[in-house]
């Protein structure tokens, strides 16, 4: 059964619609079989750990006890979290406590000799809380077991003696609610006087807050499994997520509750109530409360509106002296709930009223701006912070940024304080220095964006939230857009963002960064070369292509850049290129580009300065470019970091792409023209290789010339596809009457660069001076971004085969070759509707080679197609 049918059936299960009332179309999904419908309901109910008495399962399964036992068994086998929302049934009725549940799970993992990483993240964190068994303890126990010989599994108490005998869950928080569990006469006999009195109190007066009871007694009863906690969460509660402490990074299980936990993690906004969060996510509020209750239990979240743990000398206090001595509260004054937890309906009403009263004092002024600035980053940034050995405090924030996917403005003071401790003088060279530079530049960026009145961001309170792209993209599109629209006035992306990460696309709020997935694909590189009329020699090969030899265009290269689709580029020497390229082509299309040329090819290769140039040298030019930088005062004879903004190619890209209302940088690369540009060198290189490809991308300023069908130049690529003859275009030299040197564009990135402190400051100065985030500038940015996106899609459509309209499912890859004619009309219009997107799952496959010839002085006759 496919996912669509599964979701359709689940709708009726949630609505508790029985078999007799199901529509005929729904019955057909289970082949009109009532038995299959029953199996589906049972499977769904167990998977989602539904309460028996409140759901459809009670009409199909009569034995309530067996149903709950099956939930426990399946959950434990799949290493799911203990179902705390049905603790009243499991602990009181079945005497299954979290300690027993996790003890059996840990025993099974160790007996099977599975690794500690087999436990999912949240389950492992709860095991640490209940059993005090983390990674190091797990490894130590396993080593001690193996030291006893290979028969240790068959010894009855061999493993059990090494595991804890009682729960180490502790006394919990003072505002948690204590419930009485399963207590036998034997338990009463073995209890102290204080424990006996506490049990009697809970029997006579019902559940109490932990802070009203003796702290040590609560801790003792919990360890014995005689009481259990419920963590009350109500509709009007506000939740904050501090930096994660004690989070275990193992693996993601993917069950429904874990998915919900991660979904809520990135969506939590401490200015919004639980009810508002559920509405934005369009998730049942009870499910949201269960997830937040789990966060609080694990210590990953805190409630803002809890009654402070202080003594009131005038009216007395309900808190026990043992709690007052050991703890102090920093929470805002509010009335705490007395009983209840998410999913515990009989306690909801008593606690909701007190929480609502407490929020009256904490209510925000609706007249003031409530939105913030969002800074988008990817996992590579968190990896730098975690691997750089830059400090334990910084790693804690990095774990929060990775797992939660968000670091709120309220936590940035501490985060910036940790970043301020990073010094280049205290780190070594190489990668360590690189990580430190990223951290320092990140601190400059966050300080610039946060509470900076000079930015004049409309409808913003000046706050700044850090958002991880991957976590945001894990939400469905509608939910993601609702969250972004509700909380943010503008989004700024780090640059460059990894090619493995899909950009966050949004119209409202506007995004200063890549706005389409296509911007992060090789398509945009080829589009850039097309607009600029120049670029490195490039060849895009479709998945499944097999090369018999290295394309002649790259025979003069010493090293080649290899970029598999949806991956970052890496550098390969020419001697290793062929096997690496063929292996990569088995999994995805690959873009290969000239990286550096051999100095021994066609003699000694020298630049106009007389210096040998065997490796690429790059210069990054930040944009927007100021009007004063559009024309040089003097004739330029050598381009460098100080004057690269005057390069004709940079000026052309800035003008043609409408970069004056965007921010980012253009990366220019220097390539030796003595190999790359000479007629002799070119005739032996790129011209022969590109003459047999499916399509050659021309310069926009070029004029079309016909092909010569009679040519018999053999293709160097053993492609399984055949393509018709195509018209190609000669790429001409720049029309600007000035020296351009060996510099060509390599790539264009949108956003704030964080890898280079100098470039970062240049771009931030341009943002401030040009008022790039002002209201008027935002309108221009939105228009230019849309125009550029449509031009890119139109460019892509030019190299697709017209075969009827289909939706755009993902980043498109070239499907088949078409004519190489230029795209002359870039008017504001939708991409061509007659584009065929060849989809295999979520991947659109290319079917032929697409090339950019590089330097523009190639003889027209060399462009030939077999």
- Look at residues 652, 649, 645, 644 and name the one whose alpha carbon lies nearest to residue 628: 645
CA distance 404 to 736: 51
554 neighbors 537 (Cβ within 8 angstroms): yes
Which DSSP category does 854 fall into? -
Q: What's the pLDDT band for 721 if we cut at 50, 70, 90? A: very low
Q: What's the pLDDT band for 330 if we cut at 50, 70, 90? A: very low
Both structure tokens of 475: 């939400």
What is the average per-residue pLDDT within 728-743?
A: 42
pLDDT at 334: 38
- Look at residues 447, 403, 415 and name the one whose alpha carbon lies nearest to residue 301: 403
Q: What's the pLDDT band for 695 if we cut at 50, 70, 90? A: low
Read off φ and ψ for residue 532, nearest 5 degrees: -75, -25
848 neighbors 669 (Cβ within 8 angstroms): no
Q: What's the pLDDT band for 428 if we cut at 50, 70, 90? A: low
Q: Return the SS3 of 37.
A: helix
pLDDT at 425: 75
- To 5 degrees, how large is the angle CA 315–CA 321–CA 323? 110
CB-facing half-sphere around the CA of 794: CA atoms within 13 A: 18
Which DSSP category does 509 fall into? T
Helix axes 274-281, 477-487, angle to 10 degrees: 140
- Sign of the Cα torsion 78, 82, 85, 90 reads positive
pLDDT of 232 > 60? The answer is: yes
Q: What's the pLDDT band for 672 if we cut at 50, 70, 90? A: low
745 neighbors 649 (Cβ within 8 angstroms): yes
pLDDT of 701 > 60? The answer is: no
Read off φ and ψ for residue 573, nearest 5 degrees: -70, 155
Both structure tokens of 394: 């910084």
Higher per-residue pLDDT: 775 or 150:
775
Q: What's the pLDDT band for 599 if we cut at 50, 70, 90? A: low
CB-facing half-sphere around the CA of 448: CA atoms within 13 A: 23
517 neighbors 792 (Cβ within 8 angstroms): no
CA distance 143 to 503: 45
What is the average per-residue pLDDT within 42-58?
A: 91
Q: What's the pLDDT band for 226 if we cut at 50, 70, 90? A: very high
Both structure tokens of 29: 């999904």
399 neighbors 488 (Cβ within 8 angstroms): no
Question: What is the layout of strands, in order, in the sheet containing 557-564?
Answer: 570-573, 557-564, 590-597, 538-541, 850-852, 695-696
Q: Tell me: the pLDDT tens digits for 253-289? A: 888 899 999 999 989 888 889 999 999 999 999 999 9
Give Cα 259 to chain centroid, integer Å: 14
What is the average per-residue pLDDT within 288-304?
A: 93
pLDDT at 348: 39
CB-facing half-sphere around the CA of 27: CA atoms within 13 A: 12
CA distance 360 to 380: 42
Longest Cα–Cα distance in the chain: 103
pLDDT at 364: 52
Both structure tokens of 480: 């993601």
799 neighbors 850 (Cβ within 8 angstroms): yes
Give every CB contact of residue 558 below 8 A, 6+ residues apart in sequence.
573, 574, 595, 596, 597, 598, 599, 614, 615
Ranking 12-26, 334-348, 439-453 by mean pLDDT, the lowest is 334-348
- Look at residues 241, 242, 222, 238 and name the one whose alpha carbon lies nearest to residue 230: 222
704 neighbors 821 (Cβ within 8 angstroms): yes
Beta strands in 153-236 (DSSP E): 177-180, 208-209, 227-230
Q: What's the pLDDT band for 857 if we cut at 50, 70, 90? A: very low
Both structure tokens of 413: 């003071």
CA distance 866 to 859: 17
69-73-79-84 Cα dihedral, nearest 10 degrees: 0
CA distance 553 to 531: 22
- Look at residues 625, 615, 664, 614 and name the one whose alpha carbon lies nearest to residue 648: 625
Q: Return the SS3 of 550.
A: coil
CA distance 127 to 137: 11
pLDDT at 316: 65
CA distance 357 to 795: 59
116 neighbors 138 (Cβ within 8 angstroms): yes
- Look at residues 272, 262, 348 and name the one whose alpha carbon lies nearest to residue 85: 348
Which pTM does this prediction carry?
0.80
593-597-601-602 Cα dihedral, nearest 10 degrees: 90
**CB burial readout 445-482, b (16+ within 10 A) else e:** bbbbbbebeebebeebbbbbbbbbbbbbbbbeeebbbb
Q: What's the pLDDT band for 315 if we cut at 50, 70, 90? A: low
pLDDT of 689 > 70? The answer is: no
Q: Tell me: the pLDDT tens digits for 840-853? A: 323 344 456 777 76
Q: Tell me: the pLDDT tens digits for 365-379? A: 555 668 999 999 999
Concatenated DSSP letters of 615-628: S-EEEEEEESPPGG
Q: Tell me: the pLDDT tens digits for 633-656? A: 567 778 888 888 888 899 999 999
């Amino acid at each position: 059964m496919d996912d669509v049918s599964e979701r359709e059936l689940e709708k009726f299960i949630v609505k508790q619609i029985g078999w007799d009332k199901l529509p005929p179309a729904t019955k057909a999904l289970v082949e009109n079989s009532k038995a299959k419908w029953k199996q589906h309901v049972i499977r769904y109910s167990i998977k989602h750990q539904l309460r028996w008495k409140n759901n459809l399962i009670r009409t199909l399964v009569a034995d309530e006890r067996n149903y709950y036992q099956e939930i426990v068994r399946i959950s434990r086998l799949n290493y799911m979290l203990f179902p705390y929302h049905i603790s009243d049934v499991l602990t009181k009725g079945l005497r299954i406590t979290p300690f027993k549940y996790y003890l059996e799970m840990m025993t099974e993992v160790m007996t099977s000799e599975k690794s500690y990483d087999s436990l999912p993240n949240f389950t492992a964190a709860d095991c640490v809380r209940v059993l005090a068994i983390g990674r190091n303890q797990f490894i130590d126990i396993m080593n001690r077991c193996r030291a006893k010989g290979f028969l240790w599994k068959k010894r009855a108490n061999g493993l059990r003696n090494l595991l804890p005998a009682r729960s180490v869950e502790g006394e919990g928080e003072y505002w948690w609610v204590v419930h009485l569990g399963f207590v036998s006469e034997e338990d009463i006999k073995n209890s102290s006087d204080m424990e006996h009195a506490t049990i009697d109190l809970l029997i006579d007066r019902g559940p109490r807050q932990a802070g009203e009871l003796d702290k040590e007694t609560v801790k003792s009863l919990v360890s014995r499994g005689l009481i259990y906690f419920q963590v009350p969460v109500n509709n009007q509660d506000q939740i904050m997520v501090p930096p994660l402490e004690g989070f275990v990074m193992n693996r993601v299980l993917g069950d429904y509750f874990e998915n919900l936990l991660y979904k809520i993690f990135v969506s939590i906004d401490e200015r919004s109530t639980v009810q508002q969060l559920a509405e934005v996510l369009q998730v049942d509020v009870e499910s949201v409360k269960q997830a937040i209750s789990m966060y609080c239990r694990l210590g990953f979240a805190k409630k803002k509106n809890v009654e402070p743990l202080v003594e009131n000398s005038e009216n007395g206090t309900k808190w026990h002296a043992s709690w007052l001595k050991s703890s102090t509260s920093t929470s805002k004054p509010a009335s705490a709930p007395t009983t209840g937890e998410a999913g515990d309906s009989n306690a909801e009403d008593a606690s909701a009223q007190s929480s609502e009263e407490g929020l009256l004092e904490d209510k925000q002024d609706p007249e003031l701006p409530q939105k913030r600035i969002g800074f988008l980053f990817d996992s590579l940034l968190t990896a730098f912070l975690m691997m750089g050995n830059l400090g334990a405090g910084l790693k804690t924030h990095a774990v929060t940024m990775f797992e939660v996917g968000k670091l709120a403005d309220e936590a940035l003071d501490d985060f910036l304080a940790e970043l301020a401790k990073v010094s280049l003088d205290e780190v070594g060279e190489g990668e360590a220095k690189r990580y430190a530079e990223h951290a320092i530049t990140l601190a400059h960026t966050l300080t610039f964006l946060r509470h900076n009145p000079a930015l004049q961001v409309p409808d913003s309170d000046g706050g700044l939230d850090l958002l991880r792209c991957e976590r945001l993209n894990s939400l469905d599109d509608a939910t993601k857009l609702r969250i972004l629209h509700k909380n943010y006035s503008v989004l700024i992306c780090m640059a460059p963002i990894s090619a493995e990460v899909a950009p966050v696309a949004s119209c409202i709020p506007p995004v200063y960064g890549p706005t389409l997935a296509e911007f992060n694909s090789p398509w945009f590189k080829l589009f850039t070369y097309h607009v600029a009329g120049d670029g490195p020699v490039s060849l895009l090969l479709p998945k499944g292509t097999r090369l018999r030899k290295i394309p002649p265009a790259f025979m003069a290269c010493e090293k080649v850049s290899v970029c598999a689709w949806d991956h970052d580029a890496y550098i390969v020497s020419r001697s290793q290129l062929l096997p690496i390229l063929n292996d990569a082509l088995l999994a995805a299309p690959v873009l290969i580009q000239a990286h550096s040329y051999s100095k021994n090819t066609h003699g000694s290769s020298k630049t106009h300065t007389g210096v040998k140039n065997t490796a690429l040298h790059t210069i990054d030019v930040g944009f927007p470019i100021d009007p004063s930088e559009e024309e040089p005062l003097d004739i330029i004879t050598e381009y460098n970091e100080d004057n690269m903004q005057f390069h004709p190619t940079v000026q052309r890209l800035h003008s043609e792409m409408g970069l004056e209302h965007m921010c980012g940088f253009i990366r220019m690369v220097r390539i030796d023209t003595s190999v790359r540009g000479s007629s002799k060198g070119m005739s032996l290189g790129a011209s022969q290789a590109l003459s047999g490809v499916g399509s050659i991308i021309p310069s926009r300023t070029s004029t079309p010339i016909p092909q010569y069908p009679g040519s018999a130049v053999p293709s160097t690529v053993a492609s399984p596809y055949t393509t018709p003859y195509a018209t190609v275009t000669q790429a001409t030299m720049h029309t600007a009457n000035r020296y351009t040197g060996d510099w060509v564009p390599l790539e264009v990135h949108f956003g704030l660069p964080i890898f280079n402190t100098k470039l970062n400051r240049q771009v931030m100065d341009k943002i401030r001076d040009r008022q790039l985030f002002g209201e008027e500038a935002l309108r221009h940015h939105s228009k230019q971004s849309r125009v550029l996106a449509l031009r890119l899609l139109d460019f892509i459509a030019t190299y697709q085969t017209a075969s009827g309209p289909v939706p755009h499912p993902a980043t498109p890859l070239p499907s088949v070759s078409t004519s190489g004619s230029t795209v002359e009309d870039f008017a504001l219009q939708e991409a061509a509707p007659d584009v065929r997107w060849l989809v295999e799952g979520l991947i659109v496959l290319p079917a032929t080679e697409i090339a950019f010839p590089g330097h523009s002085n190639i003889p027209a006759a060399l462009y030939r197609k077999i």
